[in-house]
Every structure is written in C-alpha cells, then in structure tokens.
Structure 1
Amino acid sequence: MYKYDQTKTPLFDALLDYVNNDTIPFHVPGHKKGQGMVNRFKDFIGTNVMAIDVTVFKQVDSLHKPTGAIKEAQELAADANNADDTFFCVHGTSGAIQAMIMSVVGEGDKILVPRNVHKSVTAGIILSGAMPVYMQPEIDSNVGVALNVTPETVQTTLEQNRDAKAVLIINPTYYGVSTDIEKIAGIVHSYDIPLIVDEAHGPHLHFSDKLPISAMDAGADMCAQSTHKIIGSLTQSSMLQVRRGLVDVNRVKTVMSLLQTTSPSYILLASLDVARMQMVTEGKELLDKTIELAKYARAEINNIEGLFCFGEEVVGLDGAYDFDPTKITITCKNLGISGHELERILAEKYFIQPEMSDLYNILCVFSIGDTQEKVDALLIALREISKTCSNSGKNKIEIMSIPKIPLRMLSPRDAFNGNTISIELEDSVGEISAEFLLTYPPGIPVLCPGEIITDEIVEYVKALKDAGLYVQGTDDPEVNFIKVVNEHKRLNVITSA
C-alpha cells in the first residue's frame, strides 16, 4: 500500500542522535538545551524538549532546502497521505492555506470560495490580490450552523465565472459536515483549473474508512491540514499536501519559503514526523475507538432534556453529503441558554473546556487523546446543567437570520491596503469596510474588506454582542468602531458582487 517504510521517523531520529551524542551547542537558541532557561519554566516542561530545540544545520536538515532528514520525513508524509508532495508547516494551517491560495492565483484572478471560510482564506486572498467569488453554503436552521456548498452551487458559480482560476472547498466544516468532494473535483477539473481544499479539520480522514473521504483521495490538487487538531502533532504544526499537474509544485515551494520563518521549531517538525508514523501504523484502531466514544456521547447527549447533538441524520440534506462523527455539536437553545453561557458554565464550574461556542451550540472535538472517563465527566456535567436550566423557566432561544452577503465594491486587497478611517459601527452603514466582521453562528464572515456595510449587518452584530458572543476582526477589540475606506472614489471601484 505504501512505497516507503512508514515505521521510520527520520527527523525525530536525527534529533535524538544529536542529543545522544551530547553535542555541545554553539548555536541558537540561546537557552542552550535549557541551561540558560529560567528554572520555573524549565522544571515544568522538562529538559528533554529543550534538548531538541535546535537550529538549522546538516544533521537535522533545513526546512527551506531539505536534503536529508526533513526531505525524507516529508516524502514519508506524502506517501502516507496519497499526495505527490508534502510540505511541513510550522506557522499553522492558516499559513498553509495562505500559501495554497498564493500558489494558484495572483493579482485580479478570480477564486471561488464558500462564504463560511476561515479568515485565513480571506487573508490569503488579500496577500495574493485575487478576487473572491463567494458561494453560499446551505444552512441547517434547526441548529443554526452552516453545512457545506453543494456540487450544483459550484457548477452554477463556475458557469457564471468561466474565467475563474481556482476553486476552494472546505472538507469538512468546523461542525464536521462534508460535501460531495469527488463530484466537485470532477466539475472543477472539467474547467481545467485546480481544486484546493481547506482540510484543517480533516487530517484524520484518510486513515479510517468510517469517516468522510479525504481531499487527496477525492482527487483534489492541494489541501491544507491541521495535523495538530485531531491527530497527535503539536499546536501550530500542519501539512500542505500537493498533487502535481494543475499545480506547480515549484511555485508552492517558493511561496512556502517566502511565508515560513527561517528559524522553524524542530520540536514542531518532529511532532509531525511521529504523528504521521502513528497514524499509518495505529491510526485505524485509534480512530475506531474515537468514533465509538463519539457515538456513545452523541446518544447519551440526545437523552438529556433540552440538549440535542446532530449526527448522521443530516447526511442527505443539501450541503451534507457526509459527516465526521468526531465533531460533537451540542445545541442548547431549548434550555434557554446560549452556547456561550453553556461554555462558561462548563469551564468555570466543571473545568471542562469545549473547542468553541456560538449563540446556540458548543462544539466538542473528539480525538485520539480522549478517554471514556473524560467523556463521562462531560456527560455528568451536561446532565446537571440540564436539570438546573430546565427548572429555571427560561424560554428557548430563537434562531436569527444571517445577513445577506453584501455588495462588494473593492477587492479585499484594495480595501485592506487603502486609505482608511475609523468610525463608529452604528454610523458605518453605506461605507466600504476595510476590516472583517467575523462571528458565530454559523461560522460565516458577516463582512469582508471591500464590502458595503448594511443596516442588517450592524443590527446582527449588536444582537450577537448583546448575547455575549465574541465578535472579531476589527482593530477595536470591543467592535464599537470599524475601519472604512476613505476617499474610495480614487480607487479602482468594482461593481460586481
């Protein structure tokens, strides 16, 4: 099945050799294997991790021009993930997504993207100078979250934008919902352009036949994966998978080198090396246990009064071709509390921290590191919260309509880099935004740079803030002010939406 010996961990082994040889470091970092580190920190994390915190030299290879251990580790990762090339990423999947976009589109090029993209996608569009064409995902009005875009939406949007240079899809969404990515790959390739995929929440998909198909297995040309999210690498370590043909791998290599630090963390790189080995050798069994735990939790949560956890029943709805059961979305609106309130209670009273919350839900991500004991602790807490809230007499929270996608007047790059002025949000209606407004639910950007601010958007943001939800994207942390384009008539105004 694999070309190479997947039990090998060449980069981690090279670092262990460096340590075992008791090499004397006259190189950065300055703590010198922890010798110069403050004791309180060193005593907590231990000296082993500091011993492999090294810099670029021949024995441990160079991320920017790999010829040894890193080269071999990336080749093993490509083999493991059904890719032609893999690039290790130490600046998170956000950086990998930006590199992916900048590798396929440039100034003025059109790229089709779902509206519920992560902000790193729009950042990549700004950096590249490309022009986004947004596709509206389907919405589950019962739980108030975005599902995915349908193949039909992709087909229609491509027919309307035959000059598009690339299409980006999410697989799966934050909430675990996948589209028919194989069908979409066929549609996109019929236009002779690449399909690139934000697979931040799907690095585990390839390693289990009980999960949705992975982007590379479905025929995508590139995908960015958060190896740290579900499987065992360290936070900020990710992989960018590439299939040659419609994508110029040398362009990808150049862009990755442009964006990544010249002082990468070998701790993060080594964690990618061993995480790949673990998934190939043990992944199926580990994921089987994770999926069973998730199924158990979902069934138990659906027996708790006032709570609901959607699952495979969404498969077959528009925008929900498949579902990742390791994503546990707990809808609490029938208890009369917001997801934000439920997250706060769990964190402050029970010391249980969900991944995130929106107005109606919390999201708990299950992974290979979870246990029955920890899942039972979550269930006990949810049962107690249900009893308390059920007796409070609170009315259930109603689902709010999401504002329509506003008219775009400038490219995101022109708006972001333009002459701007900060004004009060309530006075900004009719102005061109130079900033983002990003909120949950359902994970769709309310406003992107270059778009016209509407009354509907301002009122929606106010309602979310009143509910205690975190609205982000503006320089003003309280989101009372927003930057808008000043003297925008001097810029190249674009009237297409």
Structure 2
Amino acid sequence: MGLPLHLPAHGRGRGLSPALQRLLRQRPGSWDLPELPEFGGPLIDSGAVAEAQRRCAHQLGAGAVWFGVNGASGLLQAALLALAPPGSRVLLPRNLHRSLLHACVLGQVRPLLYDLPFDPATGLWRPPSPAHLAAVLKAAGPVAALVLVSPSYQGQRSDLPALVALAHGHGLPVLVDQAHGLGEALAAGADLVVLSGQKAGGGLAQSAALLLQGQRVDPAAVARALLWLQTSSPSALLLASAEATLQELTSPGGRRRRRRAEQIGERLRRRCELAGLPLLASDDPLRLVLHTAALGINGLDADAWLLERGVIAELPEPGVLTFCLGLGPPVGVVWRLPRQLKRLRRALGGHPLPPFSPPPLPLVAEPELPIGEAWRAPAEAVPLAAAAGRIAAEPLCPYPPGIPLLVPGERIDPARAVWLQHQARLWPGQIADTVRVVAGSGADGSACADGFACADGFACADGSPRSGGA
C-alpha cells in the first residue's frame, strides 16, 4: 500500500470537510448548478452564496469574503489588480507565486522584486525579518502595495504583525498569500488575504477564498477585478468547497479534526528525530521537511527513490523534501515513513552536501524591460552558458511551486548566468540547459528592445534608476 503525502490536504478524501462529504454523496451532478436566483454567485448580492460569504466573513472577523473557483492563483491576481492601477509599482517577494507575474502582465503593473534572507544549508529563502523589510521599504521608493508570502511552502511563518505594521506605517496596503496558511494574516492586520481550499484546508483543488478587512482597499475595486478574471459560470461544487473550508477553520468540529491530525504529525516528528533523521523546523505540524542535504542526498534523488517504493512526497528541492500529512494522515504513517526514510539514508546517504549559493541579487530590483513587453517580444533560446547580458523572455520555474528563479524582463548579468548554470545541475530534469531571451538583447547592453543603452540589469531603458537596489 502506498503512502500518499501530498496535496490536496484532504488526503484523497480522508480529510474532506464533512459538509463536502455529504454533498459528494448525493446523486452525481445534482450539485452542478448555475447561478439560479436562490443560489447566486460570488459577485451577486443575494442568494445562498452571498449569504455564505457574509456568514464566513463574520466568523473570521473579515469585512468581506469572496469565494473563488480558479484556485488561490486567480484570487491573488484579482487582489493585486485591485491594489495597483496600471503603471504603478508593487513590492513582490522573490518567493512569489508566478500567478502574480501574470497579474502584472494583465494589469500593466510594474513588479519591484525584493530579495529575501537565504539559508545556505537548505537552499531555501527564509521569512524576512522586520529589519530586512525596513531596508526593503527604504530602498524601494514609491510603491502601491506590498505582497508577503506566509507561511512558506515548507510551513515557515513570518512575523506578520510586525511586518504588516511596518508596511502600514509607510502607508502601504498589504496582500498576504496564505495559500498554505489558516487566515492568521487577518488577525495580523493584513488588508487582503488569499486562502486555498486544498493546501491547508479540507476542500477541493481550485477552491479558494479572498478576505478583506479595513479601509485601505475599496471592496468595489476587488469586485471589479474578480469580474475581470473569474468565470461567469462558477462551479457550485467549488463554491461549496470554499465555504466548507472556511467553516472548518472556525467550527469546533473542524478544530478537533485538525488537532487530531496535528497530534499525528507531532508523533511522526518525534519518531523521526529519535531515528536521527534531520528535519527542518516548521510552524506547521502537518508539514514534515526532511533536510536531505544533511544526509548527502539531493532532494530530487530522494524523491525518485521513495516514489519507486510508493512514498509520494509533495515537494522535492535540491536540499529538502517536503511531505504534507494533510487533515487525514495515512494510516500507519508514524512508523511507515520513518522506516522508509532510514532505508533511504542507508541506500543514498553520504557526506553532507556543500552549502548552497544564494542567488546574486540586489535587495530590490525592477526588470529592465516591462514584464509584458519582454514576455511578448520575439525570443530565442540560448545556452545558459551564453545567456550573460541577455534579457529573459520567460520565467524560469522549476516544478511544482511555480516560484521563478528568473523573471521576464530581467537582464542576466554574468554572476546570475553562472548561478543559473549551477541551478540547472541541482535540478536535474527540471531546468533546461537553455533559456529563452529577448531576440536582439545584446550582451553589452546596447540592444534593448526600445533602443536605449542599459549597462546593468536593474536600470530603466532611459538610464534612470528603477530601484534603490543595494
């Protein structure tokens, strides 16, 4: 019997919300309804959906809630478009989900990417400290909004109250990507929060929710952005899944079910630690992150070895392997997983891997070409070894989280080109040995698409600085 430890968090149905389970036991298709007057939809003021959204907003302490059927990705895009008018700049973390880049293209928004602390032992970005964010805000100059990601894919949380207060002190609204969280960003004061039904709750894939509070963001602007981006025929099943997920967060029964799953996660962690297996600290008891680099194993190799033995992890990376227990952890996981991990150590383990190199990035940087212009421009594929001086035409995102190592419009300086070549070796099969660049973008900075000279990767085409990058 296999050991599925991946998303969705309902664990192939074991942890589905009881309300959703009851719905799915009904005659197949009976729940597939259009926006009938008594049912309504996310942008209709009357009907069952509107009532459910108002009820969830009250239970969560939000000013408004919108259900989404295009996953957290679609709601992140709508939230960003509600915050940032065309031509404005927004501060986006380097560990952003690529859907926010898509929103920048659609809304003609200028992404100002800020670097994050880096852990050389694991190869992971760390959550920003208040001091780090203060330096970012000082370097950024005028921006329309700040985006934070917390918790990370590996379950590491930022000090959201301090970070949000810092941004508000600069007059900035804050959007928090909490696809892997439980809505705690709302209590921290965030203006917009995006939750995923499938990543941390008992809902189905593609169900999500967008939460608003306070006066910094106009609800009408959010509704308008949702109208632009969401389907006019939302799935009634996914809307019900979004409601069920939020109800699980606040109901006594939902809290009990989560606590039972967390207790299993805590027992699993103790058993792994007793076996001498190196684990990363995590703020989420339902995320177990094996530090494969400490065992001398690339996380992608560890994942391939475990897959052959029926253990399906959620996220392999060069230095770590993340397992998601979900709300219905597999039977026997507390002893079955440590046993397989000990076998992995015996089969592939060795001396710890050398430290990972941080990406050579400034503290803040705006792509040299507008992201939409670079993405639409005629492009050519060049070897990574020959990419220095060229402008990226596409994002470079190893599967699966969609976190880009390279953003369209960025000029690849020599240090970045070398780093990307090294990343290709660390991500075998996930990063090609070529990269698509804007055709005619010269290595000497003399052939930008608009004809102006650009000596570095972080300046405007007319030569004026685009960021206060360090």
Give, in whole Å, the separation in 1 of the partners of 2:203 and 2:158: 26
> Is residue 368 of structure 2 the alignment partner of residue 409 of structure 1?
yes
Instruction: Select the residue among 50, 55, 58 that pairs with 1:71.
Output: 50
Partner of 2:120: 141
> Is residue 437 of structure 2 the alignment partner of residue 483 of structure 1?
yes
Give, in whole Å, the separation in 2 of the partners of 1:384 and 1:263: 49
* 1:87 shift after superposition: 0.7
- CA change 1:328–1:443 in 2 (3 A) is farther
Written as runs of structure 1 = structure 2, the 5 A alignment for 1:260-339 is 260-281=230-251, 282-305=253-276, 307-311=277-281, 323-339=283-299
* 1:146 shift after superposition: 1.2
- CA change 1:258–1:437 in 2 (3 A) is same
Aligned residues of 1:146 and 1:442 also touching (Cα < 8 A): no
> Is residue 200 of structure 2 the alignment partner of residue 246 of structure 1?
no
Higher relative contact order (CA 8 A, sep 6+): 2
Partner of 1:399: 355
* 1:442 shift after superposition: 11
- TM (norm. structure 2) is 0.84
Aligned residues of 1:471 and 1:479 also touching (Cα < 8 A): no
* Equivalent AA in structure 1 for residue 436 of structure 2: I
Give, in whole Å, the separation in 1 of the partners of 2:222 and 2:45: 14
* 1:361 shift after superposition: 0.9
Note the alpha carbon deviations across 1:204-241, whole angstroms, 9 max, x for none: 3x5xxxxxxx1101000001111211211100111011
Aligned residues of 1:415 and 1:485 also touching (Cα < 8 A): no
Give, in whole Å, the separation in 2 of the partners of 1:129 and 1:240: 22
Give, in whole Å, the separation in 2 of the partners of 1:120 and 1:442: 11
Aligned residues of 2:77 and 2:100 also touching (Cα < 8 A): yes
Partner of 1:92: 71
* Equivalent AA in structure 2 for residue 257 of structure 1: L
> Where do 5+ consecutive residues of structure 1 fail to align?
1-8, 17-44, 207-213, 313-322, 473-477
Give, in whole Å, the separation in 2 of the partners of 1:481 and 1:160: 30
- CA change 1:103–1:418 in 2 (3 A) is same
* Equivalent AA in structure 1 for residue 57 of structure 2: A
Give, in whole Å, the separation in 1 of the partners of 2:78 and 2:220: 12
Aligned residues of 1:342 and 1:362 also touching (Cα < 8 A): yes
* Equivalent AA in structure 2 for residue 263 of structure 1: S
Instruction: Select the residue among 100, 107, 111 that pairs with 1:121.
Output: 100
Written as runs of structure 1 = structure 2, the 5 A alignment for 1:130-279 is 130-202=109-181, 204=182, 206=183, 214-279=184-249
Give, in whole Å, the separation in 2 of the partners of 1:71 and 1:12: 18
Match of 2:327, SS state, is coil
* 1:467 shift after superposition: 4.0
* Equivalent AA in structure 2 for residue 255 of structure 1: A
* 1:374 shift after superposition: 2.8
Q: Aligned-pair RMSD on alpha carbons?
A: 2.8
Give, in whole Å, the separation in 2 of the partners of 1:436 and 1:399: 25
* 1:468 shift after superposition: 4.5
Partner of 2:412: 453
* 1:150 shift after superposition: 1.6
Partner of 1:23: none
Note the alpha carbon deviations across 1:80-116, whole angstroms, 9 max, x for none: 3221111111001011111111101122212112211
Partner of 1:382: 341
- CA change 1:325–1:470 in 2 (3 A) is farther
* Equivalent AA in structure 1 for residue 272 of structure 2: I
- CA change 1:485–1:101 in 2 (3 A) is farther
Give, in whole Å, the separation in 2 of the partners of 1:440 and 1:303: 32
- TM (norm. structure 1) is 0.79
Deviates more, 1:458-467 or 1:141-150: 458-467
